[in-house]
A and B are shown apart, each in its own frame.
Chain A
Amino acid sequence: MTAMTLHRPRLKARRLTDILSHGYIWFCLVLFVLPFVALLTQSLGERGGTSGIDNYADVFGSFGDNLLWSFKISGLALLVDLAVCLPAAYALVRYPVPGKRVIFSLLQLPLYVPGAVIGLSLLMTYTFVYPIEFMWGLVLAMSVGSFPLMLTPIVVALKDLPLVFEEAAECLGATKWQAYRKIVFPLIGPGVSAGLLLCFIIVFNEYLVTLFVAPPDLETAPLRVFNLVRTNGLAPSTAALAVTMQLISFVAVLAFFRLFGTRHFKGTYIL
């Protein structure tokens, strides 16, 4: 009896905390999801007598090229990022590079600098070297803007990986390259996949730098959305393209962690 009367008020307080914290989480979720719902509603709006679903036909019709460009640019930029960041991270973590902290901070610069400024400075620096008239200018610009997002998770993963695995591999007769390929790379997989994902999301949705450096005949999906909104306001078909892009990013996140690579390459502890 006494025990029950003693416990009841505490239970009540806990129940109240439960309700409050659940309420808070739902409130945040709604705040977070609402804009997406608004966009979705807009994309299903009727225009000139055609049904809302027809807006999505445009996405794969007249907008199809834009999406294709986006995929192409993102894919190539990711490859460049990987090619730069894998060796760079290894050198930064495993070798006594003098001033490595300063170097690492400097390499983060593209993250702090606004996209428009990056676009301008890229234009100023490189148009004199070569005319940015073809796709590679944009790919390289994207890589410059996004590589810190690839570098940082790989650096963190490498720092967490004890040196002893590489030493064990070398003592067993592996070359440095074999040790890297068979041991280090799989074990930093979660870091690499996190980097790939972050870079993909950023590059795929980027329009500001693209605005500055894209050649005239190249219009990525985000740039198309921006141009359309600027000239026509948010037409339903534009909203449909935007929704599609959101879906692609979202599916990329999900699919990446479910499907990509081996057991250890998946970032299993993120999703």
Chain B
Amino acid sequence: MAIVHLVSVSKRYGATVAVEDFSLDIADGEFVTLLGPSGCGKTTTLRIVAGLVEPTSGRIRFDDQDVTDLPPRKRNIGFVFQTPALFPHLSVADNIGFGLSVKKARKDQIAARVDEMLTMVGLSGYGARLPAQLSGGQQQRIALARVLATDPRVLLFDEPLSALDKNLRDSLKYSILDLQRRTRKTAIYVTHDQSEAFAISDRIVVMNAGHAEQIGTQTDIYLHPQTPFVAEFIGANNGLPGKVTGTDGSGDDERSVVSAGGLTLRARPRAGVGPGDEVLVYLRPENLVVLPDGDGAGYDNVVDGTIERVIFEGPTAQLRVDVAGRELRVDVSGGRRLELIQRHGRVRLGFNDLTLIPVTAAAAPPPTS
């Protein structure tokens, strides 16, 4: 219900930089997820949007209103915390009605709204219970109903599912998405769980050490990581430090030639990366294909290696393959994985989709494996 702007927001606690020059524009009704490792500043950013933390610098705007100096109660937001934080001395109905009652709404209006919300989260008939008489998942749904009851402009979620068990997490994340879609509210969702972020977001902000590393859709972030951090944090990846030595081919077949870890690899050229540049080369484990001996047609790159270890993970098998003294992870799925778990010794790998990321002074140090 509102466009949210974070304009160059920073937060320092003494010498600790929690959030650094963070800017983000969120469209009306968009579901944006802040994804990043522990301590990267996700919660701090969210609390700044809520008004629970005052930024050291920067502005927050909802639509055309600058809310930076408003207390939380005047921002009309809905904040769902990591714990349900239902008021333990109030009934479920009184919890849901709390936001309306502090705004002095009429009793019958509150009651009607409470019933509507209970139905919406699928818990009608639970109004008279105390929070302690609900399961963890039910409590979190009531917490959601409680914030929706006030018809907030923006929904804010701080890892609302992290305290629940896996099955519940999986079903509740879709409930949250469904409710957000139905109410068409702008939402910011904080998580460190990639699968959660990928399942429910319109856009994902990958955060690291207080700043946004990359902002984009699931496919942007997974297929086209812009920084080494994103390449390594999202999914599994094999990273090799290397150097562009030249180009070959032209048009659609143009490739950058990269010398990395004793191998000569060919990758699709990337804007701004030319011969002489230091790069990190990333190969996704699922893009490495174990080739039948001698075959290599159709692949830009074919390398030989030795299987060091096979880890059977159910739907996939993970191979650790020694290639020129470097261990690469290769994920195999489907029927082939069953042949391969018996196999040892030499294999030939073919692959096309390499990602080149230029090494800049600011980038993270190259991976060692």
- B-contacting residues of A (Cβ < 8 Å)? 162, 164-165, 167-175, 178, 182-183, 186-187, 262-264
Task: Verify A172–B99 contact, CB threshold 8 A.
Answer: yes
Task: Verify B52–A174 contact, CB threshold 8 A.
Answer: no
A262 cross-chain contacts in B, Cβ below 8 A: 89
B279 contacts the other chain (CB 8 A): no
Complex Cα–Cα for A171 and B50 (A):
7
Say yes or no: A171-B88 contact (C-beta < 8 A), given A164-B83, A178-B102, A182-B102.
no
B147 contacts the other chain (CB 8 A): yes
Task: Verify A171–B89 contact, CB threshold 8 A.
Answer: no
Say yes or no: A175-B78 contact (C-beta < 8 A), given A187-B88, A263-B89, A264-B89.
no
Partner of B103, one of A169, A173, A187, A264: A173
B87 cross-chain contacts in A, Cβ below 8 A: 165, 168-169, 182-183, 187
**Could you tell me the distance in whole angstroms from the C-beta of B27 to the nearest C-beta in chain A?**
23
- A-contacting residues of B (Cβ < 8 Å)? 50, 52, 71-73, 76-79, 81, 83, 85, 87-89, 98-99, 102-103, 146-147, 150
A263 cross-chain contacts in B, Cβ below 8 A: 89
Complex Cα–Cα for A262 and B98 (A):
18
Partner of B102, one of A164, A165, A174, A187: A174
CB nearest neighbor in A for B52: A167
Task: Verify A172–B83 contact, CB threshold 8 A.
Answer: no
**Residue from the set A162, A169, A171, A175 with the largest chain B CB neighbour count within 10 Å:** A171
A186 cross-chain contacts in B, Cβ below 8 A: 89
A173 cross-chain contacts in B, Cβ below 8 A: 73, 76, 99, 102-103, 150
Task: Verify B102–A175 contact, CB threshold 8 A.
Answer: yes
**Could you tell me the distance in whole angstroms from the C-beta of A162 to the nearest C-beta in chain B?**
8
A175 cross-chain contacts in B, Cβ below 8 A: 73, 102
Question: Can you name 5 A-B residue pairings with CB atoms under 8 Å?
Answer: A171-B79, A172-B147, A175-B73, A175-B102, A187-B87
Complex Cα–Cα for A178 and B146 (A):
17
Complex Cα–Cα for A187 and B71 (A):
23
- What are the 7 A-B residue pairs with the smallest beta carbon separation, nearest first? A172-B99, A171-B79, A264-B89, A174-B102, A164-B85, A168-B85, A170-B72
Complex Cα–Cα for A187 and B87 (A):
9
Partner of B98, one of A164, A167, A174, A264: A174
A169 cross-chain contacts in B, Cβ below 8 A: 87, 98, 102
**Could you tell me the distance in whole angstroms from the C-beta of A28 to the nearest C-beta in chain B?**
36
**Could you tell me the distance in whole angstroms from the C-beta of B366 to the nearest C-beta in chain A?**
41
Partner of A165, one of B77, B79, B85, B150: B85
Task: Verify A171–B102 contact, CB threshold 8 A.
Answer: no
**Could you tell me the distance in whole angstroms from the C-beta of A263 to the nearest C-beta in chain B?**
7
Task: Verify B83–A170 contact, CB threshold 8 A.
Answer: no
Task: Verify A187–B89 contact, CB threshold 8 A.
Answer: yes
Task: Verify A172–B150 contact, CB threshold 8 A.
Answer: yes
CB nearest neighbor in B for A264: B89
Complex Cα–Cα for A168 and B73 (A):
10
B99 cross-chain contacts in A, Cβ below 8 A: 172-174
CB nearest neighbor in A for B73: A173
Complex Cα–Cα for A165 and B87 (A):
7
Say yes or no: A167-B102 contact (C-beta < 8 A), given A186-B89, A263-B89, A264-B89.
no
Complex Cα–Cα for A169 and B87 (A):
9
**Could you tell me the distance in whole angstroms from the C-beta of A182 to the nearest C-beta in chain B?**
7
A170 cross-chain contacts in B, Cβ below 8 A: 52, 71-73
Complex Cα–Cα for A175 and B73 (A):
7
**Could you tell me the distance in whole angstroms from the C-beta of B143 to the nearest C-beta in chain A?**
8
